[in-house]
Each structure stands twice: as structure tokens, then as C-alpha cells.
Amino acid sequence: MNSILDRFLRYIAVDTQSNEESESQPSEAKELVLLEMLRDELLAMGVHAELDEFGYVMASIPSNIDKKVPAVGFIAHVDTAPDASGKDVKAQIIKDYDGRPIELKGVPGLKLDPAVFPELLSHKGETIITTDGTTLLGADDKAGVAEIMDAVQYIVEHPEFKHGEIKIGFTPDEEIGRGVVKFDVKRFGADFAYTMDGGEVGELEFENFNAASAVVRIQGCNVHPGYAKGKMLNAILIGNELASLLPVEQRPEYTQDYEGFFHLVGFKGSVEEATLTWIIRDHDRAKFERKKAVMQECCDFINAKYGKGTATPVIKDQYYNMREMVEPHYHVIDKAVRAMEMAGVKPHIQPIRGGTDGANLSFKGLPCPNIFAGGLNFHGKFEWVPLESMQKASAVILSIVHLFAE
């Protein structure tokens, strides 16, 4: 029998960082190491499980009740974000956390300080799992993976626990926006599902950003600086000018709640050529469309000023707000709320300022809200997760299964 902590530590030891530069699926072969491990662990527990050519693990637990109830699924992604290394993760386990700063011992002087991260104080007395400061932790979303596997273990070891058909899914490449591009909803077989991919304990989300990427190539003109007057076009400076045209108040650091943003996430260049990459986000579809139009208008201004072809934008939609697809099936939200209450968790329904596989799955016909996995400070060296939050998330899964079987 594996504890949820055992599982989590085993999973974060596998480097599964996805690669946005790759065109393959999964984007990195190393993601398959954990996906194969999960398939084999499910098979060892007696659960039918398959890993397909696209890197999706799908598993099914048959119903043990004599009435027809909806099949419910639980989904988590195995990849970690490209923002920070996920290789050679060295976890720190702090038992009975006392509220003081936690030293991240891999980097001298680096601390997880409640003065900066006050959420820590809500978890005094609990077991806190952190990084050593040299990598991310991988709680996004290996906490969700461990929680689902922990619930599966309970179900197979307790045949008296009554349930309908249960579907399990593990996906690659969520962090680069391609997690369920080739996910076969019909083959998965769930009527409703939940992604275990949220943050703080109690979070429940069925609204997310509409999302797009914008990659703008700036073509400059490089000549000898001694003879550049009237000839040189410095792509670096033009790129800076383009970025300055976008509304400052709509940068991530100035937005919250339902406010969208333009986020400059990459800038590579020389005098001759530069490439700028943005992500564009808004909960409101009309405002989202307007943001994309503003990006195009800024590029048009640059081209009018410096010449046609100076700025070439490629703007691509990534996913949409799942609310319109989930709200007509609000009972899946009600069940999640009741399940949290049964597990002693206070539900907190909020819009997610990001996206999950559940958004794209909802538009594929599988209503799929998002439930907390317990981790905080995702995508960086300050990531941490309380053990008790993972245990509560696993209990919520079991309660949802129970409610669907009623």
C-alpha cells in the first residue's frame, strides 16, 4: 500500500518538463516515463489501463452497483512547466510547520517566507513539501496525479465502496496548451469529469480565461553603425516600441479577478531581426476578441511607420472559457461543492486566472470543471504543497464518486 506522500515523491522524481518548441506529441519523450509508470501501477492494482500513441493514459473501473448512473472521470496532467527546471527535484518535507520562513537549502539565503507568501500561515501545523530552491516542485500537476491514484487505490482495496463507472485520464503537454488536442472523449467514456489541477484547498472553478498566443516577428535593417543614418532599422528598438503601444494597465502585474491582460513572455533578437511572444487572456469573449484586434492594430501602426512587413504577427487562439459549456450541467458543480463539504473542506468557487485541460475538454463535449490539487506558487522554485491538502483532495474525489452513485 502506497501513501499519497510516497506516490507524490515518486512522481516528482521523474523529469516531465514539456517543450513548447517541439512539434511532437508528447512534446518530450521523457513524459512517457511517468505515463508508463502510471499505466503499470494501475494495471498492478487490477485496473484496466492503456497508454496510446499520443501519450494519453486512459483507465476504467467498472461499476459495482445495479443501477445506471453517469460515468464520472478524473483527469490530471503529468508535464511540468517550461518556466523552470523539473530535473533532479529535491523535495524538503517540513512536518508540523511552525509559521516561520522555510529555508530552501539548495540556494543559500533563499527562503519561502510568509511575509511574502502569507498563505503559508493558513497551513501551520501541517506537513509542507517544498523544493530546495534549485527546481520547481511539480505539484502542478503531480499532486493531482497522486490524489487520483490514491483514490483509485482506496476504491480497489474497498470493494464495499459503492460506485458507478469511473474513468481515469493522465495527459501530457498541458503546460504548453496542447494537453488534450488529440484526446478522444468518446473513447474515454465519461459523461462528466473533473480536472484535479487547481491551487489552494477548496478551490472550484468552472470559468477560465479565453486564451490566445501572439508571436510577432520584427524585420529590421542592419547596416554599419558609422553609416546608419536614415538607413538602419533596429529590430530590438522597434520591438520595444511595439510593446510600449499595448496598454500598460493590462499587464498581468496590474490585473486581478476578471481582468484580462497582455503578457510579454519572450523577446529574442538582434538589430536585424527580433521575435516577441505574448499570451493574451480575458474571461469575457468580446474583450478577448478586442485584445486580439488591438495587437493587430499595434502591428499595423508599426508597419505604417517603418514600412510594410516590418511587423508580422501570428495570432492563434488556444482555448476558451468553459463556463458556457459547464453551466448548463450545473449539477456537476453542486456535486463538487457537496463533496468538499463531506470532506470537511470549505468550497471557494472562483474564476481561474489561467486554463486547464478541462476547458478544451468541455468544448469537446465533456463538461469538466476544475478542483483544487493543493499546490501553490506553481511554475517556480517557490512552489509548495501541504500534504493535508492532497489528502483532502483525494477524499473529495471519493465523495464525488459516492454522490454520482446515489
Residue 99 φ/ψ region, left for φ over 0, alpha for ψ in the -120 to 50 degree band, beta for the rest: left
3-state class (DSSP) for residue 105: coil
CA distances, 188 to each of 72, 117, 232, 404 (Å): 10, 39, 57, 18
Phi, psi of 125 (to 5 degrees): 85, -5
Amino acid at residue number 318: Q
Q: Catalytic site residue 282?
A: no
Report the C-alpha gap between 322 and 181 in whole angstroms: 15
Kindly tell me the sign of the dihedral angle through the C-alpha atoms of 280, 286, 289, 290. negative
Grid coordinates representing 182 are 488529440
Residue 321: closest CA among 287, 372, 278: 287
Q: Which residue of the set 174, 207, 282, 383 is catalytic?
A: 174
* CA–CA distance, 187 with 190 (Å, rounded to integer): 9
- Does the annotation count 300 as an active-site position? no
Entry field: residues in the chain? 406
Grid coordinates representing 323?
A: 463556463
Q: How far apart are CA 88 and CA 76, in angstroms?
A: 22
**List of residues 6+ apart from 214 with CB closer than 8 A:** 277, 278, 279, 280, 292, 295, 313, 314, 315, 316
**Catalytic residue selected from 79, 141, 197, 383:** 79
Say if CB 322 and CB 369 are below 8 A apart: yes
* Residue type at position 179: G
Residues 6+ apart with CB under 8 A from 23: none
Q: Which residues are catalytic?
A: 79, 174
